[in-house]
Structure 1
Amino acid sequence: MTNPESRIDVLTGRQVIVAAARAVRPVHVSESAFNESPEDDPFLEGHEHTTPQERVALRTTNSAADKPGWLLRIVPNLYPAVVPQSDFDDSTPVGGASPQADCHSAFAPPTTARGIHDVVIECPDHRSRLAQLSVVEIARTFKAWQMRLKQIRATAADTGIQAVSIFRNEGSQAGASLPHCHSQILATDFVGPQLTERLHRVRQFKAEGGECLFQHWLQSEVAAKERMIRRDDRIAIVCPFASRVPWHTRFCPTPLQPAHFEDIDERELLALASAVRDVVQSLDQCAGFLPHNLTLSLPPLNASDEFPWSLDLLPRSSRIAGFELLTDVDINTVAPEAAAAAIRQHADWQNDAQWHPSDLCPPGYEWR
């Protein structure tokens, strides 16, 4: 590719510019390593007193909550971006205001940002990279996401929760403040603009005679072939046509799989975990270690059948700069066609039959 191309994401309407020639410009920014020692790690086993009380845990049957003896914990974020409904009485102004402010007023009325903000501590020891976790450990993390998502959905009528964002930041350039392997669950009492736009586009597609916009997009990528990395009867892996960042990779359920993330069984979770780990290791071969975000896209809770889940790996080899801030248009310096070809070349796909669903909860442990 020689000339920059402007591309539109059919799922969100978001515009990106693919400008591969910019990749050769000199950049003098490197990811600084976290220097935290294990003794200062608040997520380390034995340091349970440094976190709020756990909500979910996989621990030994004879261990006590908030004590050693666990493989994974979910705890409230000590520095939450939102606060729970239970912290307020009925007289507190309700949040969830429309993102469109009244143009006749200088400021939209402020409201309290309500919701739930959890941290998923993915391992008890001092590891910092997704690539250092085993397939089973990654699948356990996905299982924990499912469990907490079910809990949040079950209480949504009382808490006012409308949308749930699940994401994983690795590396300071990707927004991580601690190196210990962890992900986050942030549930809000509003539906954000990007998700609102995606929902609108899905419904508009159906109103114009289409069936599922997501499947229409995926079938188009399968037909084009050049951005497909791998596809089987469980998962399709693709570098999207309008990739937001270099090496952007999306993991999608195939038409035979459940549309709801909570409905994926443990064998499918293992297959997804294996695919994610294989791609991360392939990227290490292609581009070296890159900070990244792993994001789980979910429909709003009251529109859960509108489109299926998808999991996006977004490496951070570049930074948001002035143009992106002014226009909300991303500039991608690695064409998704080239990214997909490189990942295919370096991938060493593991046979997920070697793992069994029972591995997610080994003998002597239980989910609580």
Structure 2
Amino acid sequence: MSKTILSVSLVVVVSLIVAEVVARFIFGLAPLEMQNPYQPVFALAERDQSSPSTDIAAGASGPGGYGYEHGTFGYYYTGRTPLPRSSTALADFLFDHRLSRYSAEKIDAIACAQPRSLGVFVLGASVAQGHSARSKEATWHALLEGRLRQALGRDDVYLFNGAMGGYLSLQDKLAYHMAVAPRQARVVLFLNSWNDLLLPAYSATRPGDPFVLGVRFEQTFSDGFLFWLAKHSGIVNTLVQNEAKSAVQTYARRLAHDDGFFNRYADKVTDIYLQNMSDVLTDCQMHGRFCLVAIPPTRPLAALDIGRPAGEIVPDRRVAALFELLMKKIDASPFRAQFADLTHLFDAPDLIEHFTDSVHIDEAGQKILADRLFEPMLNGLRTVEELHSTWMPSDGKSCR
């Protein structure tokens, strides 16, 4: 009997190994690789589609970046690595993404060397980062910085990009209070809204929640065995991904076909977005900051206007209804003057071609976006310039 059990077990193990080899090398199935690193405050950091988890752990937003060393059973701070520079330490990674041109350390150095310089802090998600540009110099924020310098006749105008792909207004609010306000920023530009309105449906999360929250729950509250299997087996990972896709499709179908559910969803996502941005704009008002919230262009809205279907997970008519409700609420808001509607910036047959997907734009589109933001940001900087005010490094102290 024992030999039979051993033989059967051996056959099962060998069969599983062979099945996994076939799945990986014949069908191209890959095990789970974490591309959205965990971040202790913001839930996720810079999305990385190429680096293995071990490299991400050593990156700016990983435990290694915060000075934690890996022991046998966890990560520990032992004092062998530098202490945090300031209260912004857990948010400085925001300026370390691949399209950012100024690190947190560089920003603080500029604040010390040029306290009367004109710095614009940019927050938002991947559109705000300049996603789809092939280089930092081709991003809309780099192009806008150049135009503003030329118009103002000074070379100390800077656009500091602290945006992060996948972020919602909740995380933008955290970024504002943790990375921007401590530096006494005078000008802040937000480009956001799409993720708040649509990302819940694309990730099967509640309105207002970071899109990786379900994954974080699984990592924390399950026994971890299935998660471990998915990281080591292409077959198991495929099953996990299929379940996630099924949940997203169910969510999207409800939004598409259930009018009652859609109306409740639309009301909540727009309310939560405006609550978060109103909190930020209230703080801007209290501290005399020039803050502008730009609602970026989207392909579904452009497609509807020119009579071309965009083919999104959520039907174009629903996307249009979400933005229509949002703009209606913005118009009724006491902060309506601090919002700029860019949603129809690419509403033409030739312009819609600048979209690389639902919201991201190519390098020619980056220039169009920079041109559209030029006038409002120029007016904002001129207002600040007249005040002759200063800003400071992240620790709030005078520079040594």
TM range (shorter): under 0.3
Please report the TM-score for the alignment, with normalisation by the length of structure 2.
0.25
Please report the TM-score for the alignment, with normalisation by the length of structure 1.
0.27
Greater strand fraction, Structure 1 or Structure 2: 1
Greater helix fraction, Structure 1 or Structure 2: 2
- Structure label with greater radius of gyration: 2
